[in-house]
């Protein structure tokens, strides 16, 4: 399964791998040095012990060899005690080394101490390498998507697409409905304007009709009065009746 990495992720991966390789190389070099150093130190101890034995055989240096042998014996006993303490509890041995430089030098040069130090360092190196490998695995897991994650991401993409399509459809429907509502509102406004105009015209016509009705009623009243007057005056004066008729005609015309 091929995975495309960003340049930053590739750089981080390469740096982690380089550190792991460097720690492995340092560990192998130190292990080889410690083995060589242990061999050299053991050879030096054997040579010194042989020289002491040779010097003890000579009769002239008897006292000197006796002192050296006793000192060597004491040192070897101390060395054995310190090695036993080192295997059980290394912390007090470190304190005693700081106090006595001679014992510290002997313990450092002893093969057991060198082996324990090399083992401890090798364990630390191995622990560091394991930690580096764990970090690399975590990084690879975070970078490389698993099949379950891929399926989940595909499902999420499909859901998001379906939701986006639904959202688009709803948006289109709402836009169409808003346009239709705007058109209907425009029609309603036109109808309201026309209704208000018709109402105004109707009110004007009603006012004119009422005015004309008033005038017509007044005319009827005047005509009735004139007719009554003419009936009353027909027998008295025909000239005056004619003049009254003319007057009534003028009034009706006005």
* Cα dihedral sign, 147-150-152-155: negative
Residues 215 and 93 placed together within one structural domain of the fold:
no
DSSP 8-state symbol, 79: H
CA distance 243 to 4: 125
CA distance 125 to 120: 9
pLDDT tens per residue across span 62-103: 566 666 666 666 767 766 676 676 666 544 444 444 445 545
* Choice between 70 and 196, residue whose per-residue pLDDT is larger: 196
Tell whether the model's pLDDT for residue 133 goes beyond 70.
yes
Q: Domain end: 132, 147, 162, which one?
A: 147
Residues 132 and 221 placed together within one structural domain of the fold:
no
Distances (CA, A) of 147 to 4, 136, 153, 158, 218: 16, 20, 10, 16, 105
CA distance 231 to 22: 148
CA distance 36 to 38: 5
How many structural domains is the chain composed of?
2
Percent of the chain residues topping a pLDDT of 70: 46
Residue 48 belongs to some domain of the structure: yes
Q: Domain end: 147, 173, 191, which one?
A: 147
| Minimum mean pLDDT range among 52-61, 138-147, 183-192, 196-205 | 52-61
Joined together, the tokens standing for residue 52 give: 């002491």
* Choice between 120 and 6, residue whose per-residue pLDDT is larger: 120
Residues 118 and 220 placed together within one structural domain of the fold:
no
**Residues of the domain holding 70:** 7-147
Joined together, the tokens standing for residue 14 give: 């390469």
State the alpha helices, DSSP H only, in 89-146. Answer: 90-99, 101-109, 111-143
Q: Domain end: 93, 121, 147, which one?
A: 147
Tell whether the model's pLDDT for residue 169 goes beyond 80.
yes
Residue 156 belongs to some domain of the structure: no
Tell whether the model's pLDDT for residue 219 goes beyond 80.
yes
| Minimum mean pLDDT range among 18-22, 160-164, 246-250 | 246-250
CA distance 102 to 150: 66
Residues 225 and 111 placed together within one structural domain of the fold:
no
């Amino acid at each position: 399964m091929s995975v495309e990495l960003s340049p930053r992720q590739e750089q981080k991966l390469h740096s982690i791998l380089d550190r792991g390789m460097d720690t492995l190389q340092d560990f192998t070099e130190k292990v080889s040095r410690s083995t060589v150093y242990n061999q050299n130190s053991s050879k030096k101890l054997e040579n010194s012990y042989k020289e002491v034995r040779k010097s003890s055989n000579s009769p002239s240096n008897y006292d000197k060899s006796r002192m050296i042998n006793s000192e060597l014996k004491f040192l070897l006993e101390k060395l054995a005690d310190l090695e036993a303490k080192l295997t059980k509890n290394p912390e007090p041995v470190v304190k005693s080394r700081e106090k006595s430089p001679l014992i510290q030098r002997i313990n450092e040069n002893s093969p057991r101490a060198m082996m324990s130090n090399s083992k401890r360092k090798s364990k630390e190196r191995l622990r560091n390498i394991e930690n580096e490998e764990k970090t690399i695995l975590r990084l690879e897991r975070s970078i490389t998507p698993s099949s379950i994650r891929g399926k989940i991401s595909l499902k999420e993409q499909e859901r998001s697409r379906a939701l986006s399509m639904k959202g688009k459809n709803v948006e289109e429907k709402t836009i169409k409905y808003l346009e239709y509502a705007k058109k209907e509102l425009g029609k309603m406004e036109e109808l309201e304007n026309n209704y208000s105009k018709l109402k105004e015209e109707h009110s004007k016509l009603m006012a004119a009709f009422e005015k004309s009705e008033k005038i017509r009623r007044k005319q009827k009243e005047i005509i009735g009065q004139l007719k009554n007057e003419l009936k009353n005056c027909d027998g008295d004066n025909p000239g005056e009746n004619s003049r009254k008729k003319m007057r009534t005609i003028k009034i009706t015309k006005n």
